Structure formats: structure tokens, C-alpha cells
Amino acid sequence: MAYDTVKLRSPPLSPAVIEQTKNMSLRRSGVEMATGEEKYVLFAGELLGSWDSRISVIPKDEHYVIDKNGRPVKEKCEPFLEIEASVHKIFCGHNVYGGPTDFRQVCRDFVALVEELLETELPLADYWTVHRVDVALVYRLPKLACKEFFDGMQVMSFPRRHRGSAKYAMAVYFPGKTTTVKFYHKGTEFQVHERSRMRGFFTNLFKHLHGKNDPKNYERAERKLEALQRLADSRLRAEVEIHSDKFQYDFEKNPLVKEVTDAYLQQVYDREVEKLLREGKQAMDTVRGSRAVLSRLKAVYGPSTGARLYGFWSSLCTLGDEVTREQFAKTVFYRNRKLLEDAGVSWRGTDVTVVANDGLLPVDFSPVRSDKRLCYLPARNREEYQVSRETMRLAA
């Protein structure tokens, strides 16, 4: 498990720190042309971190509070900073593999980097509040197997979550008030969003390492990009974006960095993915084949109940959730489905559907932490790529 986008809010800051931030940020303002009155002023900085990843730094002196009618309204407060960035990208340069796994430590490193970029002193990261965290897991699957996974997702029914409109075929996401669940093929996303940015970085890097006039610099950059592309093509990425509302619901406030544990974030990921896909308990290997399902259900619930649940499972496989729901009383339908989940039985991608089961997507694949295709090893970056920001600025 790794962390990607993180959004933090600082404790109240002194006017000197806020002024220093504004001086190093972009200034945006809105003016009413008829009267010349300045309606608002917004300072939003996008600062260069490692490998040219962007960091949003916004000074604010307003926040939302709940009024007596239960509605959120803006209220003036002591000034503070709001920072947001992909911590995976700013410390690894990309999010194809690897990534930070210690939440508190990566927040400390993030605040320390912003402190260095702003050339000012900031409070300790432990006392910043948490407003968004993206928890991501990556699975090793061939590109064609990833396509089969997304083809299957397109025909599934998700009654509790509306499927958002993705920008490319091999991606789905399900937005919600407290969390957003996303699945996408990393190779496609890398090709669309990251490749051109990484080409600029590697070109400048090899100019620095081998001299600006070395004719092989472009070839070196392209080789590195091709290597990352090949790796990304065999990766399926699953993310749970945890919103501010989720933290407020669980902690009754936006918690401090020191109050959020890795175990809590893992639990949120597990619960949200399991609720979405109904893929069963992680303590058991998920089964889909008809004989394996019958054997599992009889072993868990006994011959009589197991045979009855097998008939219910067959109906889900052949008719789907919506039609099967109409054939059973509401309480019976949800009770039986819960029993299947508890036994680690899946009715999606089985050997009794109209889709052949001899494809490249493994029949036992499930995007949970217990799946054997989970990529968990730390990032390995070659020593020559560890170049300081100041060195890269001089090289450019």
C-alpha cells in the first residue's frame, strides 16, 4: 500500500510567513469591470518539487463552519496554509511503482519540502490537519488482462455508487461524498498524462550528467521512458480517495497528522473496495468456479444450506443482481448475498457466465491486499538519478 495525493492544513501562522508565501506564489484576482472594485484576491502557488511535480500552496484566512441551521458558511479566521500534492510523485518522480508507505513520515517530509521551497519556517507536520489522502495499491497484470478486468466492470451493476465518466477506456471511478474509488490501467494513464512531463525531466537530467552537447542524451531519455512504459503497461492501479467528510465522520473533526495511522487508512481502503466489488473477505481466497463454489459453500455451511446457496449463486451468475433481486424477498436476497461474501465466493467472472473463462484475467484476481499479484516492494531508484533540486536548476 502506498500514498499518493495528500492535502494538509497548517495551524494558524504568523503574518510574516503568510506574506512570504504570497510573495513566492501566483496572484489571481477578480475585478468587476463596471465599477473597478476588486471582488476577491486568491494566492495559489504551484511550486517545483522533485522531478518537476507540482505542489499547490494556498494561504487562506477563511474556513467553513456549520451555522445554527446546519448549513456550511464561510467565517474569518487566523491565516493558515493549505498544501496539496502527489507525495508519490514529488519524492519518486512518478507513481508507476514504489511509493511512500509510512503516512506520518511522508507528511513530515512533505511539510519539510514546502518549508524549504518557501524559504521560511513552518510548524511541525504532526500538528497539521488532514483533509485528503489517496491510498493506492498496484497489481501486476498483463495489459490484455487489465482490459478484460475493465470490460467486466463495464457490465456490472453498482446500485449504491454512480459510475463516473472516465477519460479513457481502461479506467473507472465511482465518486462519493466521503470517498472516491478508482481503478485504472497505469500504462494508459502514463501515456496520456505523464510521458511528456517525464521526457522533459530525463532530457535535462542526462544533459546534466553527460553534458548538454552529448548526442545520445535524447536516446537515453527515450530508453528510460520506454522502460517505465513497459512496466506501467503491466500494472493495474486501484485507489481510494478519502475525503475530508470521511475524516470528520470517523474522528468528529479533521484529525491531526499524528492521529492518523497506517492501519486506519488500510482499513478504509479495504472496506470501500469490498463494499464496491462485493469480493468477499480477505482472509479467504475468492473462488469463482462452479465446483469450487459448491465445495466451499458445503464446507462452510453444511450440505443442505450449501446446496441452497449454490442455487442462489447460480442465479446471480446467469441472471445478474437486478433480476435475481426480483425473484427473492428483499431480506432473503441480502442475507444470502452476505453469506456468499462471508464464504469468500464471487459471482463475477465465473465459469458459468456468457463470457468465456479462458481469458488472460486470472479467475482468482481481486483488487484487495491479500491478492498474490499485489506489488509491495519499495521503489528502487538508481543512484545517478538522485539529483538535488538545486543541481537540476543549475543544469537547466
Position 19: which residue type?
E
pLDDT tens, residue by residue, 10-21: 999 998 888 888
Give the DSSP letter string of 293-312: HHHHHHHHH-HHHHHHHHHH
Whether 319 has a pLDDT exceeding 70, the answer reads yes
SS3 of residue 358 by DSSP = coil
Instruction: Give the least confident one: 110-114, 115-119, 231-235, 278-282.
Output: 278-282
Give CA–CA dist 206/216, Å, rounded. 9
Asked if the model's pLDDT at residue 155 lies above 60, the reply is no
pLDDT in tens, 195-218: 888 888 788 878 878 888 888 888
Torsional sign, CA 315, 321, 326, 328: positive
Residue 277's Cβ-count burial label (10 Å; 0-12, 13-18, 19+) is buried
pLDDT of residue 350: 57
Q: Read off the pLDDT band of 242 (50, 70, 90).
A: very high
Q: Which of 53-67, 143-157, 376-390 has the highest mean pLDDT?
A: 53-67
Q: Is the pLDDT of residue 279 over 50?
A: no
| Residue 354 reports pLDDT greater than 50 | no
Q: What are phi and psi of 132, to 5 degrees?
A: -165, 140
pLDDT at 96 over 50: yes
For residue 268 the three cell numbers come to 478504509
What average pLDDT score do residues 378-393 get?
Answer: 53
pLDDT at position 384 is 52
Please list the residues that pair with 7 across neighbouring strands.
84, 132
Q: Position 233: which residue type?
A: D
Rounded distance between C-alpha atoms, residue 343 and residue 205, angstroms: 52
pTM of the shown model: 0.72
Structure confidence at residue 284 (pLDDT): 44
CB 347 within 8 A of CB 340: yes
